[in-house]
Structures are given as C-alpha cells and as structure tokens.
Amino acid sequence: MSTVFALVDCNNFYASCEKLFRPDLKYKPVAVLSNNDGCIVARSKEVKALGIKMGVPVFKIRDEIEKYGIVCFSSNYALYADLSNRVMTLLEEEAPRVEVYSIDEAFMDLSGIETAIDYEAFARRVKHKIDTWTGIAVGIGIAPTKTLAKLANYAAKKYTATGGVVDLMEAERQRKLMALVEVGDVWGVGRRISEKLRALGIHTALDLADSDPKSLRSEFSVVLERTIRELNGVSCLELESVAPTKKQIVCSRSFGNRITDKAELREAIAKYTTRAAEKLRGEKRLARVVQVFIRTGVFNPNDPRYSNSLSVELPNPTDDTRDLLEATDVLFRRIFKAGFRYAKAGVMLSDFYEHGTFQADLFRSNAQRDNAKHLMEVVDRINHSGLGNVFFAAQGTTPQWSMKRDHLSPAYTTRWEDLPRVR
DNA sequence: TCTGGGGTCCTAGGACCC
DNA sequence: TCTGGGGTCCTAGGACCC
C-alpha cells in the first residue's frame, strides 16, 4: 500500500511554548530571540501580523518592540525540546510510522491505520488531542507525497476556514491549490532557485508542476526534478521512521561580546569540544576527523577580518573528551592570530565509526586510554542526573564569553538546574 | 554597539591513476 | 594547427531546510 503522508506542524512553536505558561500573554505579540538575543527566530501570530520578518536583528526593530509592546524571550531550548517530545509521543500513539522531521514537525504514514479510514476526520481528532493534552496548536496536511503534504499544511495554516486540516489527496484539489501558491513557497525551492524560476516564467507551484522535469534537472539539479515529480503526486521522498545516524556534529556559538584574549577563546573552544564529544557519545559513534574554526565579525566594515579553520585526522577514531580536547587545542593554537576581535568559534566532528569497526593502523599505537569508556560514561551520567556538573579544567569556570540571555523564561517543565540562577 | 545554530544533499573541478 | 579517455576519490562551495 502506498504511503499517505500527513505533515503535522506546530503553529509558531517557540512562541506558543512561551505563551503556554503565560496566559496573560495569550493575545499579546510574543517573539523569541536567537542566541545572544540577536535576531527574531520565532513570532506569534500577532507579531507576524505587525509585519515583522523572521530573522531580523533585534536592534533594528527596537522602536516597534517598544511601540507595540512586543514581549521578547531568549530562546529556551530545554523547554521547547520537552514540549516537542510530548507532542511527538502523542503522534506515535496514533500512528505506527512517524518521522520526527524537526523540533516542531513530523510526518506520519496514515495508510493502513484502521482508525484513519477518513483521513480528514482522523487528523482533526489528532489535532484536538494534541491541543487538549499539550496546549499546542498544530496544522495538519495530508497528501500522497511529502512535498504535497507540506503544501497542504501550508494551506491549513494560511486559510483559517480549513480549521487547520487540509486533505490534498485528490489531484484536482492539488492543482487548484498550487495555482494559488508562489513557487518560492514550495518545499525545496529557496530564494535563489525561485528567482531563477521566475526569470523562466515559472511563478506558481502549478507552473513548476507543469514544467518538464528532465530539462529543469539539467538546468538546476536532481533535487528540483524530484520536487516536480512530487508535485505531480509521484512520491520520491520516503518516510524515514528511524532517524539516520549523523554524519557530522557541530558545536559553535557567537559570543555575547567580542573576544580578543587568547586564553578566553581557548576556553570557549574547550567548551564546544566537550559538548561535541557528549553529542558524539549520544550517537554512540567514534569520530576520526576534528575541525576547529574561529572568525571575527562580518558585519562591521571597519573591523579587520580574519577567519580560519583547520582539521586533523586522528590516528584512531575516538569519543574520549580528553583526546578531542588535545586535538582541538593544537588546531586552535595553529590558527589563532592575536589582534582580532573574534565573534564566533566552533568545533566540528566528522568521519564517524561504530565501536569496534575501525581497522587500526598496524604501526600506530592503538591504545585507547585506559578506562576511557568507563570514565566518559560516568561523566555523562553525572551531568545528566541533575546532581551536579563535572567538567574538564580547560573549559574554565567563569566564562566571560557566555551567551546573552536576558529574557529567559523559567524552566517550567524541565530540570531545576536549567532554571536561571539568581546572581 | 548590537545580525543564530545545526544539519543535509548535490555538483563541479582538481588530483591522481592506468 | 592538431594535444586520449576513462575511472575514482576528495574537497569546496552552493543551495536548501528548520
């Protein structure tokens, strides 16, 4: 039986999470800010209605924030992840095959579910259940391909008369909707490609659906060809209910303030390395390639710019924080140059191996550090237990470089150590 | 003064080999 | 003047997503 895709997407997710615990803000404009309180990354519908765009730097809209009384929150990922898990768990109770696509959306396969003979009625019931159990409003789009399900979801949110659910299984309805949707709003068509498409006279989703996939493939890529086929009801993208293992782990941050001091930057690198190593162990993988990058700001034309990165292939893949710290420190010392105001740094891990699958070089020492596995397990367990925090000396204890989070909401649903500390 | 973070996939082009 | 033809592997960069 072919897959029936339902895309469930939480409305204004981060902003909705913040409102959940602040009923006084129910009809007020609420925005969530990026790290360092730099940009707007989520907007409640009231903020959208004010015409404030996604991604604008906060300092550019100070006047509007003041004028309209927009309530701003620093991003509180512990809270959003917790609420996300609750929503996803409910979906998994309703359908055997669910792909958690991002923190606020998931694809479900509705085919063969006894309680989902009438897809639309099923979706309305699921929507109602999520709403009553978590307080989060969702939109649901149903279609024979992922790209069409995205489109159906877009319609479910845009047209309030739909009540937040759109069934787009019929070809005729698909075409009717596509005629109304700009080509840039199709999933997989970004700013660059939509510009080029418009130059070719392709303005709506329907124009794109009626284009020749082969000739657009040669002009663009196989990705766009798949999009065209998906718009015509031919499924090219499968539901992936088991999360694929990561190929890369990145830990990077912009700093609350520019950093000029080498020791401070070094501490930041150590911190990101530690975090990346934790993620790596969470994936149950060993990494062989380690990369470090540092860079100055890119927006101030008067500041001298410097940006560099360096990677190294380790003799043996590892998940030991100490090995990784050693490697990133060497890399950092090689690329650091004094005299610049650094704005961002990061650590990347790649080239992953499963435990026990790496063929070690005969002539190199294969000695994993003694007790490495056990030690790392203990460190991770303590840090996740809520009992305390174990860390490596290189991280430093009083980071000057930590993020600005001046508008953080309390950790309503999460661990007490996530609560903002009173200083 | 102040502009997020973490991913994926695809392609072109260079190095290298026979 | 004319300057092979495949193949593989790797990397950097572009484009997209949330």
Q: What pLDDT sits at residue A360?
A: 63
Å between A290 CA and C8 C1'? 25
Q: Pick the last residue of a domain from A173, A200, A232.
A: A232
**Which CATH number goes with the domain that contains A28?**
3.40.1170.60
Residue A56 lies in a domain: yes
Q: Which of A322-336, A355-369, A370-384, A394-408 is the most confident on average?
A: A322-336
Asked if residue A358 is part of any domain, the answer here is yes
**Quick one: A199 exposed, middle or buried, by C-beta within 10 A (0-12, 13-18, 19+)?**
exposed
pLDDT band at A396 (very low <50, low <70, confident <90, very high): low
The total number of structural domains in chain A stands at: 3
Q: How far is CA A131 from the centre of its chain?
A: 23
Asked if residue A257 and residue A368 are part of one domain, the reply reads yes
Q: What is the pLDDT of residue A420?
A: 40
Question: Is A103 within 7 A of strand B by CB distance?
Answer: no
Q: Does A359 or A206 have the greater pLDDT score?
A: A206
* Angstrom distance (rounded) from CA A16 to CA A18: 5
Pair A45, A142 in one domain: no
Report residue A367's pLDDT band, with 50, 70 and 90 as the boundaries: low
pTM score: 0.91
Nucleotide of closest approach to A9 (CA, C1'): C18
> How does pLDDT run across A172-199, given as a tens digit for each residue?
999 999 999 999 999 999 999 999 999 9
Q: For residue A182, what are the domain limits? A: 5-9+84-232
For residue A161, the model assigns a pLDDT of 97
How far apart, in whole angstroms, are the C-alpha atoms of residue A177 and residue A151? 8
Residue A98 CA distance to nucleotide B8 C1' (Å): 20
Q: Give yes or no for CB of A247 within 7 Å of strand B.
A: yes
Specify whether A225 is located in the same domain as A296.
no
Residue A223 Cβ < 7 Å to strand B: yes
Give A177 CA → C9 C1' in Å: 45
Strand arrangement, sheet containing A105-109: A98-102, A105-109, A5-10, A138-143, A165-167
For residue A422, is it within any domain? no
Q: Are residue A217 and residue A92 in the same domain, yes or no?
A: yes
Q: Does any strand B atom come closer than 7 Å to the Cβ of A59?
A: yes
A41-45, A87-91, A135-139, A397-401: which range is least confident on average?
A: A397-401
For residues A86-114, average pLDDT: 97
Which nucleotide across the nucleic acid strands is nearest to A103, CA versus C1'?
C18
Specify whether A165 is located in the same domain as A73.
Answer: no
Q: Is the pLDDT of residue A421 over 70?
A: no
Structure tokens that stand for A297 in this block: 């700001």
Q: Tens of pLDDT along A21-75? A: 999 999 999 999 999 999 999 999 999 999 999 999 999 999 999 999 999 999 9
Same domain, A277 and A384: yes
Residue A358's pLDDT is 75
- pLDDT of residue A359 exceeding 60, the answer is yes
Please indicate, yes or no, whether residues A222 and A256 belong to a single structural domain of this protein: no
Instruction: Say yes or no: A387 and A266 in one domain.
Output: yes
Does residue A417 surpass a pLDDT of 80? no
Per the rule left: phi > 0, alpha: psi between -120 and 50, beta: everything else, A30 is beta
SS3 A309: strand
Q: What is the pLDDT of residue A368?
A: 56
The reply to whether A274 falls in a domain is: yes
On whether both A52 and A69 belong to a single domain, the answer is yes
Statement: residue A394 has pLDDT above 80: no
What pLDDT, on a 0 to 100 scale, did the predictor assign at position A398?
Answer: 52
Whether the CB of A81 is less than 7 Å away from nucleic strand B comes out as no
pLDDT at A393 over 90: no
pLDDT band, residue A378 (cuts 50/70/90) = confident
Assigned domain for A40 exists = yes
Tell me which amino acid residue A84 is.
Answer: S
Residue A404, CB, strand B, below 7 Å? no
Domain termination site, one of A79, A106, A122: A79
User: At A389, is the pLDDT very low, low, confident or very high (cuts 50, 70, 90)?
Assistant: low
pLDDT for A131-164, tens place per residue?
999 999 999 999 999 999 999 999 999 999 999 9
Whether residue A255 is found in the same domain as residue A308: yes
Is A423 part of any domain? no
Distance A93 CA to C7 C1' (A): 50
- Which pLDDT band holds residue A419 (cuts at 50, 70, 90)? very low
| Cβ contact A313:A289 at 8 Å | yes
Residue A409 within a domain: no
Q: How confident is the model at residue A298 (pLDDT cuts 50, 70, 90)?
A: confident
A235-294 tens-digit pLDDT: 999 999 999 999 999 999 999 999 999 999 999 999 999 999 999 999 999 999 999 999
Nucleotides on strand C with an atom closer than 7 A to protein CB?
Answer: 14-18
Footprint of strand C on the protein (CB under 7 A): A 101-105, 150, 186-194
Q: Which residue has the tokens 């995205």?
A: A150
The verdict on A271 and A206 lying in the same domain is no
CATH of residue A88: 3.30.70.270
How many Å apart are A308 CA and C14 C1'? Answer: 19
Can you give the CATH number for the domain in which A374 is found?
3.30.1490.100
Determine contact, residues A345/A269, Cβ cutoff 8 Å: yes
In a domain, A151, yes or no: yes
pLDDT at position A340 is 94
Q: Which two tokens stand for residue A318?
A: 């590892």
When the pLDDT of each residue in chain A is averaged and rounded to a whole number, the result is 91
Q: Tell me, what's the pLDDT at A385?
A: 64
Q: Considering only CA atoms, which of A117, A31, A114 is closest in space to residue A75?
A: A31
Q: Are A44 and A126 in a shared domain?
A: no
Using 50, 70 and 90 to split pLDDT, how confident is the model at A412?
confident
Q: Which amino acid is at A255?
A: F
Q: For residue A104, which nucleotide's C1' is closest to its Cα? A: C18
Q: Which of A42, A60, A79 is the last residue of a domain?
A: A79
Instruction: Identify the pLDDT of residue A1.
Output: 81
The helix or strand, by DSSP H or E, that contains position A42, with its residue range, turns out to be strand A40-43
pLDDT value for A414: 64
**Nearest nt (C1') from A313 Cα:** C10
